Structure 1
Amino acid sequence: MTAGRQPVGRWEWWAIGAIVLVAALLRLWNVDQNLPLVYNIDENARFVPDAARFFQERLDYRELVNPPGMMVLLSLLDHVWFGVQGLSPTEGLDQHPTQAYLLGRLVAALMSTAAIPVLWWAGRILLGRLAAIVAAALLAVAFLPVAYSRLALSDGPTVLFLAVGILGAAWILRDGDRRGYLAVGVAVGLAAGFKYNAGIVVLVGLAAAALRLRADGRGPVLRRTVVMGVVALVAFVVSNPYVLIDPHEMWRAIEYQQKWATSGPYVGEPRTSGFAFYAWAATWGVGWLPTIAALVGSLLLLWWRRPVAALLLPLVALYLLIMGGQDRFFARWMLPIVPVMCLAAGFAVAEVARLVRGGRAAAGDAPGTASRDAVAVDPGDAPTAATGAGDPARSGPPLERRPAVALGVAALLTVALGAQSLVHAAHTVAVVGRDDTRTVLRDWLLEHVPAGDGVVLESMSPAAWQPTFDGRQAWFSLTRWSIYHSIPAVQRRDRDRYPRQTRTKAGFSGWVGILYPELVDRFQQYGYCWVVTSSYQAGRAARTPYLARQAVRFYRELARRGTLVHQISPFARDATGPGGTRGPFGPLEAPVKYQIDRQATTYELAYDRPGPLVSVYRLTGGRCAAPSPVIPSAPLD
């Protein structure tokens, strides 16, 4: 078997096999974390639940904010898996939630893992054997791809379609292979069907087609490009049948997502520039050294391999131009450009190894010569021009004959580039196997807070983790305590006094917007004596106090007037807060500053278990001062 023009050597099979094994371990270790409790809001609300009813109910724009490709796939698997058990997907989710979510997570992990050998194959054609191995290794351990391949979300699996699109483009660029056009078409359609913005992979196919015009002629290239577009459209419709079923709702979903992303700064995120945010996110989502290597590799591609640069780099530039100009941004949204970053970094490492060996860049060719048109650049791969076959005699000695020092340098550089992500990814997958702080909170409340008591439960997770009133372990109930706030809604007064905080809907994103200091009086007035806060909300207010001034005042008032009766920390015992303070921590204090992506993925090494810092306060004024049980009553508008 070959990948590129040279047969795959035994050492390559061993290397890519080991890399895939490491990638699979990072994605599958503790993948059943906290099940059947699901704390990621997106995972709880989308994909698995929607997949269970996908072929039974029509989705509206709220469900279609994320394209339904992942839902279609999971629904088909649910019908097979639960059908064998004599259950419908909805019955399976209701009776066996662990199985339903674990199935979704396994699909995400395996699809993400599959992207690694595909990217290796593409990199081998475009950049040579050594660069391809390095790129595959970096994608295997890069923190963001690992973290978002462990949840039943569409982010991790979409990387597979990006890699397939790049592979198809490599086939096109190398020899105009028709299978390349078909591969790109399938990749574009499925990528957009899983994640709308991932459809930008179409750029690599169009660039490859344009680069084949001189060699293949306008007519054949145009015909094959049209076929590529038709295949992309068919694949998109298959993965997103709502294009035909209800296009109005689909476009409403896209408009809603766009409006939300441009609706002003996000509380808790101090960066106001998307360009600065994604540059920063790359330094930990992929790593400092890989990011620098990717920049160097991009410059080298522009100098030595202009066709490959024209193929890959416009995708990154246009994607960042679009996403960086929005008001809100999340680290996982940069996943579509991670494969290109890995390829560019791999090329930089391969060029360093070439210099150590004593060879000149591009197999001995000087800048500006025909070598810039070559696709394969690794010594041992016969350079293949976009306009025809290259001259094998100019390719240099095979990789197996290189001096050991050059290979050693390449190996050390690869380890150095992947070390940051590997350490954090391995730490995260070990830590998430422990009970989440919200699981610990649930057990504590069951033991210490009487059934029927009034509890103010801050929005920190899906509300499904609470037990039923009679103590049964039903995971989808909110009836044990009288909850002043569950995620869907909160009742409040004083709208005249606080005209900017009149919302009655308050999910995770909007929770701090409904807080103000006098709420403490309201809680005591109506008998809601237990107040549960978390660093997910208080940390947001503390990080951007200028966006949540009333919330900051509320937390200070709560700490002043309430009694902290219990605190559950996700951090190691020796973790310290601001100024070197140790726990218990106030609601606006935490050893790690809030950042939604890094907290949601437990990135920081200070974490000892997943989840937020949770604090339980007991109010003792008003009705809460009564020694007898308090019967709470919700305020009426």
Structure 2
Amino acid sequence: MATPEEQDDARPDGAEPAPAVPLREPATATPAPAHGDGDDASQRPWLIALALVVLGGLVLRLWGIRWGLPFGYNLDERSHFVPRAVEYFRSGSLDPDYQLNPSGITQWMAAAMWLRHWSSDTIVQEWATDPGRIWTVARVSSALLSTAAIALLYAAGTRLADRRVGLLAAALLATAFLPVHYGHLALNDAPSLAFTALGLFAIAGIVRFGRRRDYALAGVALGLAVGFKYNAAFVLLPLGTAVLLHALGWRVRPAGTAAPASGATGRGDRVAGLLQLDPGPAQWCAAISGTVLAAVLAVVAFFVCDPYAFLRPGLFVDDVRHLSDYTKGGLLLGETQQSGYRYYAWSLMWGFGVVPVLLAVAGGVRLVVRDRWVGLLLVPAPVLFLLYVGSQGRYFARYGMPVYPMLALLAAIGAMALVGWLVRGRDSRVLRRLVTGAVVVVALGQGVVWSVHNDVVLSREDTRSMARDWMVEHVPARATIVVEPMMPKEWYADGARLPDPLSREGYRWNRLVRTGADKRELIRRYPDLKGKINRTADFANNGFTLFPGLLDFYREKGACWVVSGSMQSGRVFNNPKRVPEAVKYYRALERQSELVYQAQPFDGRRAKHYFQYDLAFNFGPLRYERPGPAIRVYRLRDCTPRLSDPARRG
């Protein structure tokens, strides 16, 4: 029989032996410390390692955080959160008049702006005169909250498994490309992961201890998570599983701890990874009362994040229904993938990483085979969530990001299982540490490379800003120009100041927009194209409105400069059969114009019309040299420029 010292050597670093105590303990008894918990001296190396991981994750999220400023080029960032946070101070009302997304992140950013300026008037004035500073505060607040997810995931992994799993899961979340990229932006995708990780920590507490405070924390975490992003509600699945395990009297035995002593009473370790206490009415009562507490606190936390979901229920229901209809809609112009399931499987390969995905699969298999009840906490939720979003009509990689914390835990479990298999039968701590280090490096390698490269790219000038700089020098002020919908309205204004939204006073150029009279005249000339002419030429639908005859219309209006970009032309050339008239338009534009300026995010002919609904916006592939789409400025031949009246500029 092995000595106690030999048993300690065989355990993972920092493990505590499981005490040989009777399993028929009162429902309120406190179990042994979690695997890896110990005195301050034993925790210090792990906390130092965690601090380095968190610091590295923060650096990756702050590096390049001023990308594109003072122009907010990300459409969702510009449309949903920051302007509404500023409007709190402009209007003096906390009603966002908007429920397509919950208001938690908007309130978080507004609080950051207030802490930075301590004055509503200053915030409104700075938004009007130097919006880049407001954008920076909002983005930094997002980066800080998304970084908090790293530490919280370490705590969840340590509580549910051990420190090695917790630390590697934290490192995976810190370096995975998609969470890092969205950690740069004033959006709710990355910040919401903090509350998902907090929820996993609380869920681990429920299955380990069954305490009321763990139920309370789970409820708060759930309410906050949904208050930041609706689809974070998938955490209900592992939470429900944890409640059921508690009600049935099961407690999760931390991975790596020894089975109960043979003399222990009770049902013992009949299911791998679990200890069963004495089940009975007390367990059910504790689980039911805990569930009620969690539900009440979840509602309260959600109310704090989004009070107007309760105060204006009609708007809430209408906007959520509109959001559901959008995600269930048909394929957008430019989408080439027709299977959401393949799309999300593909996006995980670069958003999370090839090796981490394989390790997550291995970790899931290991839990199903050896710790199947523990596997119920971590495996079904991400699988069912990805199946659900994959069944929608429209899909984007970030829609799958809520499950990344759980995937990181599964990958870390798979990695540690791989280490154990590789060193099986070799009693050498040095070898174990070398193998562990090699597995960690391989697991993190892709994420580190993509994230660092992305940060370098984001630190460089966006192609749209480069084009604007050129136009300031070469296109007369007050000239009428045609610009495809891919620029924020501030792009047209001098000094990035926000002009009056009604008069557009302060715009440097007059962007040609078809009026009702223009549309009627075009329909008279091209009656067969009435549907195209009447369609709104917005960001998503511009390609449907294009046809060659527009070039003569531009000449008549004196709009001699046409600014085109791959965000629009790429959609057309991805789906040429859907918009044949738009293909003819771009070919006619090439023939009838002189290309006077172009800027590309990477070299090669492919860049000219490159478009993909994620990678044309996230700049992850290593071919990118700078952010933004390919931009081309054309000067129409046989066109006389028309300058707008200074009093009516725009």
TM-score (structure 1 length as normaliser):
0.84
Structure 2 CA distance for partners of 1:204 and 1:486, relative to 1, 3 Å: farther
Aligned residue in 2 for 1:288: 354
Check if 1:474 corresponds to 2:509.
no
Cα distance between partner residues in 1 of 2:516 and 2:297: 41
Q: In the alignment, which of 291, 304, 308 is matched to residue 225 of structure 1?
A: 291
Q: Secondary structure at the match of 1:338?
A: helix
Q: In the alignment, which of 551, 557, 565 is matched to residue 534 of structure 1?
A: 565
Q: Secondary structure at the match of 2:553?
A: helix
Cα distance between partner residues in 2 of 1:318 and 1:179: 28
Check if 1:452 corresponds to 2:452.
no
Cα distance between partner residues in 1 of 2:131 and 2:239: 40
On the 8 A contact 1:75/1:89 being kept in 2, the answer is no
Structure 2 CA distance for partners of 1:479 and 1:91, relative to 1, 3 Å: closer
Aligned residue in 2 for 1:368: none
Deviation at 1:43, TM superposition (A): 1.4
Structure 2 CA distance for partners of 1:256 and 1:488, relative to 1, 3 Å: farther
Check if 1:424 corresponds to 2:450.
yes
On the 8 A contact 1:189/1:232 being kept in 2, the answer is yes
Check if 1:412 corresponds to 2:438.
yes
> Per-residue CA shift, 1:503-560, capped at 9, x if unaligned?
4433211221211222122212322111110011111112222333322221111112
Cα distance between partner residues in 1 of 2:81 and 2:130: 16
Cα distance between partner residues in 1 of 2:384 and 2:578: 30
Structure 2 CA distance for partners of 1:277 and 1:503, relative to 1, 3 Å: farther
Structure 1: any 5+ residue segments left out of the alignment?
361-400, 579-584
Q: In the alignment, which of 102, 123, 126 is matched to residue 67 of structure 1?
A: 102
Cα distance between partner residues in 2 of 1:299 and 1:354: 15
Deviation at 1:255, TM superposition (A): 0.9
> Per-residue CA shift, 1:111-150, capped at 9, x if unaligned?
1111111111111122222222221111110000000011
Amino acid at match of 2:568: Q
Cα distance between partner residues in 2 of 1:453 and 1:25: 43
Q: In the alignment, which of 606, 629, 642 is matched to residue 630 of structure 1?
A: 642
Structure 2 CA distance for partners of 1:451 and 1:95, relative to 1, 3 Å: closer
Structure 2 matches for 1:154-165, cutoff 5 A? 154-165=188-199
Deviation at 1:632, TM superposition (A): 7.4
On the 8 A contact 2:155/2:166 being kept in 1, the answer is yes
Amino acid at match of 1:418: L
Amino acid at match of 1:79: W
Aligned residue in 2 for 1:379: none
Pairwise CA RMSD: 2.5
Deviation at 1:183, TM superposition (A): 1.6
TM-score (structure 2 length as normaliser):
0.83
On the 8 A contact 2:72/2:488 being kept in 1, the answer is yes
Deviation at 1:266, TM superposition (A): 1.4
Check if 1:609 corresponds to 2:643.
no
Aligned residue in 2 for 1:138: 172
Structure 2 CA distance for partners of 1:210 and 1:88, relative to 1, 3 Å: farther
Cα distance between partner residues in 2 of 1:467 and 1:461: 11
On the 8 A contact 1:298/1:309 being kept in 2, the answer is yes
Aligned residue in 2 for 1:600: 617
Q: In the alignment, which of 303, 317, 340 is matched to residue 383 of structure 2?
A: 317
> Per-residue CA shift, 1:409-467, capped at 9, x if unaligned?
22211211221121111011111111111111111111111122221001113121222
Check if 1:354 corresponds to 2:420.
yes
Check if 1:545 corresponds to 2:576.
yes
Structure 2: any 5+ residue segments left out of the alignment?
1-13, 15-32, 250-281, 646-650
Aligned residue in 2 for 1:581: none
Cα distance between partner residues in 1 of 2:391 and 2:100: 20
On the 8 A contact 2:113/2:138 being kept in 1, the answer is no
Deviation at 1:272, TM superposition (A): 1.3
On the 8 A contact 1:453/1:482 being kept in 2, the answer is yes
On the 8 A contact 1:534/1:612 being kept in 2, the answer is yes
On the 8 A contact 2:108/2:141 being kept in 1, the answer is no
Aligned residue in 2 for 1:396: none
> Per-residue CA shift, 1:338-391, capped at 9, x if unaligned?
11111111111101111223269xxxxxxxxxxxxxxxxxxxxxxxxxxxxxxx
Cα distance between partner residues in 2 of 1:96 and 1:319: 41
Cα distance between partner residues in 2 of 1:4 and 1:178: 21
Q: Secondary structure at the match of 1:532?
A: strand
Check if 1:112 corresponds to 2:146.
yes
Cα distance between partner residues in 1 of 2:496 and 2:146: 34
Amino acid at match of 1:446: V
Amino acid at match of 1:143: F
Please say which of residues 85-94 and 189-198 is displaced more in the overlay: 85-94
Structure 2 matches for 1:21-40, cutoff 5 A? 21-40=55-74
> Per-residue CA shift, 1:578-636, capped at 9, x if unaligned?
5xxxxxx7xxx35xx41121121111212211111100111113xx0x4xx43579xxx
Cα distance between partner residues in 2 of 1:9 and 1:474: 52
Aligned residue in 1 for 2:162: 128
Q: Secondary structure at the match of 1:212?
A: helix
Check if 1:250 corresponds to 2:316.
yes
Aligned residue in 2 for 1:381: none
Aligned residue in 2 for 1:483: 511
Structure 2 matches for 1:495-574, cutoff 5 A? 496-571=527-602
On the 8 A contact 1:465/1:475 being kept in 2, the answer is no
Check if 1:152 corresponds to 2:183.
no
Cα distance between partner residues in 1 of 2:387 and 2:366: 22
Check if 1:234 corresponds to 2:300.
yes
Aligned residue in 2 for 1:337: 403
> Per-residue CA shift, 1:193-238, capped at 9, x if unaligned?
1111112212221111111112262111011011111110111111
Deviation at 1:29, TM superposition (A): 1.3
Cα distance between partner residues in 2 of 1:487 and 1:602: 36
Q: Secondary structure at the match of 1:185?
A: helix
Amino acid at match of 1:617: Y
On the 8 A contact 2:169/2:412 being kept in 1, the answer is yes
- Alignment identity in percent? 34
Q: In the alignment, which of 61, 77, 82 is matched to residue 43 of structure 1?
A: 77
> How many pairs does the alignment contain?
569
Cα distance between partner residues in 2 of 1:514 and 1:427: 37
Cα distance between partner residues in 1 of 2:425 and 2:490: 62
Amino acid at match of 1:267: L
Cα distance between partner residues in 2 of 1:162 and 1:359: 38
Amino acid at match of 1:64: Q
Q: Secondary structure at the match of 2:597?
A: strand
Cα distance between partner residues in 1 of 2:234 and 2:514: 38
Amino acid at match of 1:265: L
Amino acid at match of 1:594: F
Tell me which structure has the larger Cα radius of gyration: 2
Cα distance between partner residues in 2 of 1:502 and 1:291: 46
On the 8 A contact 1:424/1:603 being kept in 2, the answer is yes
Q: Secondary structure at the match of 2:326?
A: helix
